[in-house]
Amino acid sequence: MRRDDTTRPGRRVVMLVDNAVEGDSRVQKAARSAADAGWDVTLIGCAHVDAERRWRLGDAEVRVLPLSAVRALPPTTAPAVVSGPGGGVPGSGDGSRLRGVSGLRARLVARGGLPLRAARLARRPVEHAEVRYWRARLRDGAWRRLEPGLWDYERVAGPVVDDLRPDLIHAHDFRMLGVAARAVDRARAAGREVKLVWDAHEWLPGARPRRDNARWLPAHLGYVREYVGHADAVVTVSDTLAELLVRDHDLPERPTVVLNAPVTAAPEPTASEPADLPPPDLRKRCGLPPGTPLLVYSGAMAVQRGGDTVVEALPLLPGVHLALVVADPAAAYVRQVVAHATRHGVGDRVHVLPYVPHRQLVAFLATADIGLIPLHHWPNHEIALITKFFEYAHARLPIVVSDVRTMAETVRATGQGEVFRARDAADLARAVRAVLADPARYRAAYEGPDSPLSGWTWEAQAERLDALYRRLLAPTH
Domain boundaries, the chain: 12-70+149-200+232-261+461-472, 85-140, 282-454
For the cut 80, the answer to whether the pLDDT of residue 309 exceeds it is: yes
With a CB cutoff of 8 Å and minimum separation 6, the contacts of 170 are 13, 14, 15, 16, 30, 34, 180, 197, 199, 235
In angstroms, the CA 226 to CA 229 distance is 7
Instruction: Determine contact, residues 227/249, Cβ cutoff 8 Å.
Output: no
**Residue 73: which of 175, 182, 151 has the closest Cα?**
151
Instruction: Determine contact, residues 389/398, Cβ cutoff 8 Å.
Output: no
- How much is the mean pLDDT over the chain? 88
For residue 140, the tally of other CB atoms under 10 A from its CB is 16
Provide Rg for the chain, Cα atoms.
24
For the cut 80, the answer to whether the pLDDT of residue 185 exceeds it is: yes
Which CATH number does 282-454 carry? 3.40.50.2000
Instruction: Determine contact, residues 141/226, Cβ cutoff 8 Å.
Output: yes
Q: Are strands 53-57 and 60-66 parallel, antiparallel or unpaired?
A: antiparallel
Backbone angles phi, psi at 361, to 5 degrees: -65, -45
pLDDT > 70 in the chain, percent? 84
Q: Which of 71-75, 106-110, 200-204, 291-295 has the lowest mean pLDDT?
A: 71-75
Q: What kind and span of H or E run contains 155?
A: helix 150-164
For the cut 60, the answer to whether the pLDDT of residue 74 exceeds it is: no
Q: Which of 360-374, 377-391, 415-429 has the lowest mean pLDDT?
A: 377-391
Mean pLDDT on 419-439: 98
For the cut 50, the answer to whether the pLDDT of residue 100 exceeds it is: no
In angstroms, the CA 372 to CA 379 distance is 19
Write the DSSP symbol of residue 79.
P
In angstroms, the CA 272 to CA 53 distance is 16
Instruction: Determine contact, residues 58/40, Cβ cutoff 8 Å.
Output: no
DSSP 170-238: EEETTHHHHHHHHHHHHHHHTT---EEEEEE-S-GGGSPPSSSSSSHHHHHHHHHHHHGGG-SEEEES-
60 SS3 class: strand
47 SS3 class: strand
CATH topology of domain 12-70+149-200+232-261+461-472: Rossmann fold (3.40.50)
List the Cα angle 326/327/333 in 5-degree steps.
Answer: 65
Residue 471, amino acid: R
For the cut 90, the answer to whether the pLDDT of residue 170 exceeds it is: yes
In angstroms, the CA 37 to CA 426 distance is 48
Q: Where are the beta strands (DSSP E) in 292-448?
A: 294-298, 321-326, 350-354, 370-373, 399-402, 417-420
What pLDDT is attached to residue 70? Answer: 60
Cα atoms in the 13 Å half-sphere on the side-chain side of 378: 19
With a CB cutoff of 8 Å and minimum separation 6, the contacts of 211 are none
pTM greater than 0.75 (yes/no)? yes
Backbone angles phi, psi at 20, to 5 degrees: -90, 10
What pLDDT is attached to residue 358? Answer: 80
Mean pLDDT on 103-126: 59
What pLDDT is attached to residue 210? Answer: 83
- Kindly tell me the burial class for residue 200, based on how many C-beta atoms sit within 10 Å of its own C-beta (0-12, 13-18, 19 or more): buried
Residue 267, amino acid: P
Domains 12-70+149-200+232-261+461-472 and 282-454 share a fold: yes
For the cut 60, the answer to whether the pLDDT of residue 471 exceeds it is: yes
What pLDDT is attached to residue 83? Answer: 30
Determine if residue 252 is left, alpha or beta; phi over 0 gives left, psi from -120 to 50 gives alpha, anything else beta. alpha
**Residue 80: which of 136, 134, 120 has the closest Cα?**
134
Backbone angles phi, psi at 87, to 5 degrees: 90, 0
What pLDDT is attached to residue 124? Answer: 79
Q: Higher-confidence residue: 125 or 41?
A: 41
